[in-house]
Structures are given as C-alpha cells and as structure tokens.
Amino acid sequence: MTTHLVWFRADLRVHDNLALAAACRRTNADVKALFIATPQQWQQHEMAPRQAALINVHLNALQQALAEKGIPLIYREADDFAASVQEVVAVCDSENVSHLFYNYQYEFNERQRDAAVEKALPDVACQGFDDSVMLAPGSVMTGNHEMYKVFTPFKNAFLRRLKEDLPECVAAPRARESGAINAKPITLNYPQQDFDDTLFAADETRAIAQLRHFCQHLAAQYEQQRDFPAIEGTSRLSACLAIGALSPRQCLHRLLAECPQALDGGPGAVWLNELIWREFYRHLMTYNPSLCKHRPFIRWTENVQWQDNPSQLDAWQNGNTGYPIVDAAMRQMNATGWMHNRLRMITASFLVKDLLIDWRRGERYFISQLIDGDLAANNGGWQWAASTGTDAAPYFRIFNPTTQGERFDADGEFIRHWLPELKDVPQKAIHQPWVWADKQGVKLNYPRPIVDHKQARTATLAAYEAARKG
C-alpha cells in the first residue's frame, strides 16, 4: 500500500483543502497528516500570542476532524524552518511515504523551506497546490506577461478571469476504510493569549457558519457599513483566512450564492474587492520577494529620513497620542488582537505621516499583536499607508486623524468604548477633548496631542520630497 502524507501549515481545515483532497483521491492509499510547530521561527517573525492560541485550537479541531475520517495527525516540533526540513524527511522515512502533498506558502522563507524539502526527498513524489488564493500567482498578468504594479488594473483583470471560469471548491474527503482513530490534545510550545471566541471562530464548523451569516445578512450592506468601527459591519473572517480555517474560494462561492451580482458590481462587490486586495498582495509578494525582506516597493522611499523617537512610538503603541480615534483603535488591537480596517489605515498614517516613524516599526508591532496577522496583507497595508508601495496615490495623501474621527465615529461611540476617561466629554467635543477641557477649565485624565497635525504634515511632505529628489 502506498502512503500519502499531507503536510499542513496555514491551511487548518478539511473542506476545500486542495492538498488533502488530492492525497485522499486514491481510496487504496494510506493517508496520514503532519503538522510541524516551529516556535523559534514564529518568534523571529513575531507571531502574536493570540494568533498562536487560535492556531492551537484549530489544530486540535483539525486533528479531531481528521481522526473521524481515519487520518492520523502526526505532530512534531522543530526550532525553525531549516530544522523542519529534517523533520519532514524523518517522518517520510519512518512512515514509508511515497507521496507528499502540501499547499504553497508564498513568503520567501517558506518557499526556500519547501524547495529544500523537495531536494531532500528525491524518492518521494512531492506535489504543491495554490490553495490560499482564488487564482494562482502568475495567472493574472499584464499584456507583457508582467505582474501588475497597481491594484485597479489587477482587479479588473482578476474579475475577467473569474467571469471566464470560477475556481471550484473541493469537498472534504470521505472517511477512510480504517475508521475513526483516537486523537491526543496538542499544545503548542509558544506563548499564547486568550481570544474572544464569540468574535473569532474557534473551529472550522463555526468559521463556515460565520461566513454564511455574514454573506446572508451583512455582505450586501458592507459598502455602507464597513468604515464605521462602532458598527459590526465587517466579516471578522480575516483571522480564519490567515490560518487557513477558511479558503478564499469558499468565501467567493458563498458570497455569490447570496449576492449573485457581486462580480458585476452589484451588492457584495465591495467585500469581493477586499478579497481581491488579499490576492493582489499575495501575487505581488511572489514576484517581489524583497517585500518579505523589509524593503519598500518604491525604492526612492528608502531615502526618507525617519525619526527615531521611542517615547512617541510608545505613545502610539499604547494608545496615548492625544488623538482619540488613533488611541481607541490601538487600545482595541491591544485588548482583542484585532483592529477595524478603516482604523488600520488611520493609525498607520498617523505613525508614518504624523510622527514620521519608519513604517516597518508599525508593521512589526501590528504583526506582534494581530490575531489575523498575515505577512502579505500586513506589509501591503503598511506600504499603502506609507506611500512606499504599489498604490497609485502620491505620497502627499495624509489622513487628518481628527477629521477621520469626525467622519467615521461622529458621535464618539467607538471612542468612548475604548477611552473611558473621555466618557464625560460632550459629543461635539469628543474628537478634540482638550479644546473643550481648556475652555471649561476641566482636567482630563487623557494626554494632550503629542504632535500638531498641521506642522507634522508640512515636515513629512518635506521629508518625502527630499527623499524623492535625493
């Protein structure tokens, strides 16, 4: 009997898992699964403790789901990716593996690891799959067969491809003839922090239910509600997508089942647009591996003279900048491991364009806190905010944190939730509480703004202009 080994990584599900489905296609094959924890590598990549906790619960749920299908999950631990190569080889040797199946990861280190595994297993048939995307990198290119450098033309080409041929979802495999097996609990050797499982699904079944609920009840109104953090108008599915508890193909098909006009700009199109942004950053990273190495996409921005100001960085990280919408957003992330997307843009713009602190400091801090941490999306978002990436807008797009708060949290509901020290400030004054406090002679237990936005904007424009000319 041949032995098929499925190497799980960021794809912790049994439904629509291309590698798992391929491994189980031959009914007479003995199928086993493998997961290798790499705590030192995770530490180097600054994976958030809440994401580790999410991975841990989903890994145990996956183990149970596989066990019910007669597929044992082998758990191993290695310090880093280099050591994980030897673990894969050892498992293949001990289990007499003939075929190794895995889903591609597009980050630079992960691609090097996979190449090393294939080289170390000349007698094992290795097969990888483009599972974490709707369309494989390289399938959406310009007329000159180059990767798009701007999102909108990429999106238009992407939509054309989807209309020509939707990617299919594959079913979960049937139970093997060997029958169900026992599964022992797994505990990752990595710092973990509790997360709210009412906000973030703790197993695949609940993730699918959360996707269905969003598409049925919220996707059509997503465009109108997505920018207001006090409203539950987003899907909160990014964490499940990041660890692979859901696939983007599942999201696409469920969306189209509830919003059939989404491909043509109808209801649901704006959420589909967000899924395509995710694809864009993954495709981009594949063709520009320097993005995984802390390099900006626009090279002249390497010349920007960033400010080294530890006290201001600390104020930003802990939500003590004196700008209520920024501070409420940072405290939300620190407390929950998640931040509303509009607020990610506001807080990133503030760090880079108001404080003139290197965007990579923010990128690293976000990944250390986010339960939905994803290198491609996080890097893409930060480079968008810093005007160092692929966005077509020029570097002089700078968000005003006060007017952003007034526009997207007009009555201060979100701000008051996360900044209880401002609970007595009148609604009309909530976005500039010190202006009101000074007029009323009131003492606030809240910091004054650490920077003047107008002055900071002028200094940032000068710094970028000098970098561009230099």
Query: Do residues 63 and 149 both lie within one domain?
Result: no
Say whether both 90 and 136 belong to one domain. Answer: no
pLDDT tens figures, 389-445: 987 667 778 999 999 999 999 999 999 999 999 999 999 999 999 999 999 999 999
Domain membership flag for residue 180: no
State the pLDDT confidence band at 54, using cuts at 50, 70 and 90: very high
Residue numbers of the domain that contains 139? 132-167+201-287
Regarding whether 211 and 155 lie in a shared domain, the answer is yes
User: At a CB cut-off of 8 Å and minimum separation 6, what does 232 contact?
Assistant: 218
Same domain, residue pair 423 and 441: yes
Is residue 411 within 8 Å of residue 422, measured between CB atoms?
A: no
Query: Is the pLDDT assigned to residue 178 strictly greater than 90?
Result: no
Indicate if the pLDDT at residue 95 is higher than 90: yes
Tell me the pairing of strands 3-8 and 99-103.
Answer: parallel
If one counts every other C-beta atom within 10 angstroms of the C-beta of residue 189, the result is 12
Q: What integer pLDDT is reported at residue 393 of this predicted model?
A: 66
Give the per-residue pLDDT at 392: 60
Is residue 382 flagged as an active site residue?
Answer: yes
Do 125 and 136 belong together in one domain? no
CATH classification at residue 19: 3.40.50.620
* Count of beta carbons in the 10 Å neighbourhood of residue 103: 23
Residue 181 lies in a domain: no
Domain boundary (240, 267, 287) is at 287
Residues 121 and 139 in one domain: no
Identify any residues that bridge with 73 across adjacent strands, giving them in sequence order: 33
- Tell me which of 263, 287, 311 is where a domain ends: 287
CATH number at residue 219: 1.25.40.80
Same domain membership, residue 352 and residue 462: yes
Catalytic, out of 277, 338, 384, 418: 277
Does any domain span residue 417?
Answer: yes
Residue 174 is assigned to a structural domain of this protein: no
Q: Which of 118, 258, 274, 413 is catalytic?
A: 274
Query: Are 278 and 317 within one domain?
Result: no
- The per-residue pLDDT for 337 is 97
Quote the percentage of the chain above a pLDDT of 70: 99
Assess whether 413 carries a catalytic annotation.
Answer: no
Identified catalytic residue from 300, 306, 434, 436: 306
Is 95 designated active site?
no
Catalytic residue among 271, 316, 338, 359: 359
Mean confidence (pLDDT) of the chain: 96
pLDDT at 179 exceeding the cut of 80: no
For the cut 90, the answer to whether the pLDDT of residue 40 exceeds it is: yes
Is 274 assigned a catalytic role?
A: yes
**Which of 74, 104, 129 is a domain's end point?**
129
Give which of 97, 114, 139, 161 is closest to 10, Cα–Cα: 114
Cα distances (Å, whole numbers) of residue 117 to 31, 124, 273? 19, 10, 35
* 3-class DSSP string for the chain: CCEEEEEECCCCCCCCCHHHHHHCCCCCCEEEEEEEECHHHHHHCCCCHHHHHHHHHHHHHHHHHHHHCCCCEEEEECCCHHHHHHHHHHHHHHCCCCEEEEECCCCHHHHHHHHHHHHHCCCCEEEEECCCCCCCCCCCCCCCCCCCCCHHHHHHHHHHHHHHCCCCCCCCCCCCCCCCCCCCCCCCCCCCCCCCCCCCCCCHHHHHHHHHHHHHHCHHHHHHHCCCCCCCCCCCCHHHHHHCCCCHHHHHHHHHHHCCCHHHCCCCHHHHHHHHHHHHHHHHHHHCHHHHHCCCCCHHHHHCCCCCCHHHHHHHHCCCCCCHHHHHHHHHHHHHCCCCHHHHHHHHHHHHHHCCCCHHHHHHHHHHHCCCCCHHHHHHHHHHHHCCCCCCCCCCCCCCHHHHHHHHCCCCHHHHHHCHHHCCCCHHHCCCHHHHHHHHCCCCCCCCCCCCHHHHHHHHHHHHHHHHHC
Let me know if 341 is a catalytic residue. yes
Q: Is 273 a catalytic residue?
A: no
pLDDT over 90 at 88, yes or no: yes
pLDDT in tens, 314-326: 999 999 999 999 9
One domain, residues 283 and 377: no
Co-location of 461 and 336 in the same domain: yes
Number of domains within the chain: 3
pLDDT band (50, 70, 90) for residue 363: very high
Residue 196 scores a pLDDT above 70:
yes
Instruction: Label residue 351 by pLDDT band (50, 70, 90).
Output: very high
What's the confidence (pLDDT) of residue 315? 98
Same domain, 436 and 328: yes
Per-residue pLDDT, averaged over 362-388, amounts to 97
Q: What is the pLDDT of residue 27?
A: 84
The pLDDT of 328-340, averaged and rounded, is 97
Of the candidates 309, 341, 413, 434, the residue annotated as catalytic is 341
> What digits encode the pLDDT tens for the residues 59-82?
999 999 999 999 999 999 999 999
- Residues 273, 377 within the same domain: no
Percent of the chain surpassing pLDDT 90: 95
The active-site residue out of 382, 384, 400, 418 is 382
